[in-house]
Amino acid sequence: MKKLWLTYAWKDNEDKDVDFIIQELDKTDIEVRFDRRQIVPGRRLWPQIGGFITDPRECDAWGVLLTANSLKSEACIEELCYALDRAMGAKGETFPVFALLHHIAPREMPPALKIRLGISLEDQDWVERVVAAVKGVSPGFVPTGIPDFVLTEHKTGDGYCLEIRPRFERIAPFAVAVDYDEKVSGNVTRCALGPANTIPTGHVAYSWIDSETTLTDGTHAWVWGADNEANSSFSYYLFYKKRPKRIWFGHQQNLRMLTT
């Protein structure tokens, strides 16, 4: 079993965040070592930690949970840099050293860690990436769960708008629909067309639809649509005050539903 020594600021475990990280890593085929599991009470702390990190029999990789608390604590940063120096001095460049980033951008990493791997805890595959780092292998990233439509919510002056466009497909005629009550209540105000990532103030549409309708499942709805093609660079924008519970979009003959 490859052994990982995990360094962290105690304050970051007030809500058991550190314990959760360890819990998830304990489910893998690496052994997580840290102060509360390995350190002998009553003895000086850093000689023990330094011994674990630099002894090839005790540690195969070193990681630090990097947070705002860590960055604000001069003592913590000094200890992390000390551990990094001990590790690199004892084991050379092949010794895996990495940071687990929690609400920290890579640019905020200490200089000693910037040249090393940073793993964000916001990544769904952070556990697999940690295991790969400890073993010194490629994580073999396999993307999953990525939809074929790109949906982006933008803030506007009086509410929001949802930008809807296919990732690669070209779809025409396109349509967007909401429950009829969402429109007549004034919550959903309008729909517009325009270039991707640019909120339109107006548009030119061909065969424009802006009316009530009944969907194939019997839903009383309000629909907007046009012969203008929706594609990777051209979007439809739905404007509203509060995000509708249901939105339909896609080819006019084959709408799909987004439940929000």
Per-residue pLDDT of the chain (260 residues; tens, 9 = 90+): 899 989 888 889 898 999 999 999 999 999 999 877 876 666 555 556 666 777 778 888 888 899 988 788 775 677 677 667 766 775 555 788 888 999 888 788 877 677 677 899 988 889 999 999 999 887 776 677 889 999 999 999 999 999 999 999 999 999 999 999 999 999 999 999 999 999 999 999 999 999 999 999 999 999 999 999 999 999 999 999 999 999 999 999 999 999 87
* 168 in any annotated domain: yes
Look-up of token digits 């674990």? 52
19 and 125 fall within a common domain: yes
Cβ-proximal residues to 106 (8 Å cutoff; 6+ apart), any chain: 114, 118
In 3D space, the residue among 24, 54, 18 whose CA is nearest the CA of residue 36 turns out to be: 18
**Whether residue 71 is found in the same domain as residue 6:** yes
Angle, helices 45-54 vs 74-91, to 10°: value is 40
Pick the last residue of a domain from 74, 109, 135: 135
Structural domain tally of the chain? 2
Residues 180 and 58 in one domain: no
112 and 169 fall within a common domain: no
The candidate with the shortest Cα–Cα distance to 151, out of 41, 250, 8, 83, is 250
State the DSSP code for 217.
Answer: T
- Structural domain including 212 reads 149-259
Residue 51 included in any domain: yes
Q: What is the pLDDT of residue 62?
A: 86
Q: Are strands 149-156 and 97-101 parallel, antiparallel or unpaired?
A: unpaired
Give pLDDT, residue 138.
77
Overall pTM > 0.85: no
Do 205 and 93 share a structural domain? Answer: no
Position 34 scores a pLDDT of 85
Are residues 86 and 201 both part of a single domain?
no
According to the model, what pLDDT value does residue 212 have?
97
